[in-house]
Amino acid sequence: MEYKNLGRSGLSVSRLCLGTMNFGPETDEPTSHAIMDRALDVGLNFFDTANRYGAPQHGRTEEIMGRWFAKGGGRREKVVLATKLYGEMSGFGDIPLWPNNKWLSALNIKRACDASLKRMQTDYIDLYQMHHIDRTTPWEEIWQAMEVLVQQGKIIYVGSSNFAGWHLVQAQQAAEKRNFMGLVSEQSFYNLVVRDIERELIPAAQHLGIGILPWSPLHAGMLGGVIKKVKEGKRRLEARSAETLEKLRPQVEKWEALCDTWGLLPGDVALAWLLHQPAVTAPIIGPRTMEQFDASLRALEIKLSDEQLKAINEIFPGCKTHPEHYAW
C-alpha cells in the first residue's frame, strides 16, 4: 500500500480511502466488518463515514463501525477515522425534532461531535469534516467551535466537503486570523465525467495545501464497464441510471473500447487516473461487497503513460483553470 500526506499535514493516509456509506443500507454488518478487517490487512488505513449514513436510520453506519472498533485488536489505533456533520439529525433515536440539530452552529458542532464519538465508541476523530458549506454561520463561530474540540482532544484535523474554491480561501483566511491550521482536506465530486473542480477548486486547494478526496470516482458505476455488465446481465439499470447512461453513451462506449485495447478494466483505469492527478490524496471507494473492495485495489498497480493519459483526455476533455477556461 502506498501512503501520502493528507494535504499539508503530517498525517499519512493510504492512497485509497474506504467509504462506508453502503454499510447498513446495502451491506450487512458482518460483511461490513469483514471489509474493514480486509482493509487493514492490505494496509488501507483511511476510513470515511458521516453522521447521516445508514438511512433511513441516520447514524447506523457509525454504530456499525463502533461495534467493529469495540472488537479491539488495535483496530481503532490503526485507522485514520474521518466522519462528517452538517445534515439534519432530528427525529433519529433520542434526538428531538428541534431547529439546532443541523448545519454548522457552534451548538450543533459540539452536539454532533459528541454523538458521533458515542456511536463509534471512540474518544477522538482524526478528521472532522463539514459535509457542506453553511452560508448562515460565520467562520468565527465555526472555527471557535472546532478549536474547542481540538483542545479537548475530540478531533485532530478539520476538513470540508462540497465546498467551492472561494469557500476554501474564505475558510483559510478566517483560520489564519486565529492562528488555527484550518482545513487540510476537501471531499469533492470528481471523476472523468465530472471535472468541474479543475477550474477553480483544485488550484485553490493546491495553493492552500488542502488535499482532494474525490467521491463517486466511478460516477455511480458509469465508468466501471457498465455497458458490458448490462449486456452480460451482471447489472440492471434503474430509471435514473439508464437516463444517465444514455446521455453519456457515446463517451462510455469509447471509454470501454479504449480500456479493452489496453487489456484493463474500465473501473480500474478510472481510479488509476484519479491517483495520477497531483492534487488528489485518495479517491473514496464505496464497496458493497468484498469482491468490489478487492477489485478496487487493482488500481494501485496501474501506472498510466503520458500517451494513455492523453487518450483518456480525448474522451473526457476536462476543464482548464479559470480564467483560461472561458477567456482564452
- Kindly report, residue by residue over 94-119, the tens digit of the pLDDT: 667 778 889 999 999 999 999 999 99
pLDDT tens-place string over residues 271-308: 999 999 999 999 999 999 999 999 999 999 999 999 99
pLDDT mean across residues, the chain: 96
238 inside domain: no
CA distances from 145 to 106, 108, 111, 127, 265 (A): 5, 9, 11, 15, 45
Q: Which alpha helices (DSSP H) does the chain contain, by range? A: 29-41, 60-69, 75-78, 106-120, 139-151, 165-177, 201-208, 226-231, 239-262, 266-275, 290-296, 306-315, 324-327
Provide the number of structural domains found in the chain.
Answer: 1
Q: Are the C-beta atoms of residues 186 and 310 closer than 8 Å to each other?
A: no
DSSP secondary structure letter of residue 320: P
Percent of the chain with pLDDT over 70: 98
pLDDT score at 93:
62
Taking the C-alpha atoms of residue 126 and residue 265, their distance in angstroms, rounded to an integer, is: 34
Q: Residue 150 domain-assigned? A: yes
Mean pLDDT of 204-212: 98
Whether 137 maps to a domain, the answer reads yes
Task: Reply yes or no on whether 326 is catalytic.
Answer: no
In a domain, 88, yes or no: yes
Residue 322 lies in a domain: no
Domain for residue 314, yes or no? no
**pLDDT of 94:** 64
- Supply the pLDDT for residue 101: 87
Its domain, for residue 44, covers: 3-222+266-305
Give which of 256, 250, 189 is closest to 226, Cα–Cα: 256
Place of cell 447514524: 59
- Residue 175: the pLDDT is 98
Among residues 221, 154, 216, 146, the alpha carbon closest in space to that of 187 is found at 216
φ, ψ at 4 (rounded to 5°): -145, 145
Q: Residues of 138-154 as b/e, b for ≥16 C-beta within 10 angstroms?
A: ebebbbebbbebbeeeb
Phi/psi for 271 (5° steps) reads -70, -45
Buried b (16+ CB within 10 A) or exposed e, 59-81: bbbbbbbbebbeeeeebbeebbb
36 within a domain of the structure (yes/no) = yes
Report the CATH number that the domain containing residue 29 is assigned in CATH.
Answer: 3.20.20.100
**pLDDT of res. 328:** 84
3-class secondary structure, 28: coil
- Residue 135, classified by CB atoms within 10 Å of its CB into exposed (0-12), middle (13-18) or buried (19+), is exposed
Residue 321 domain flag: no
Write down the catalytic residue from 53, 128, 157, 190.
53
Contact predicate 287/22, CB 8 Å: yes
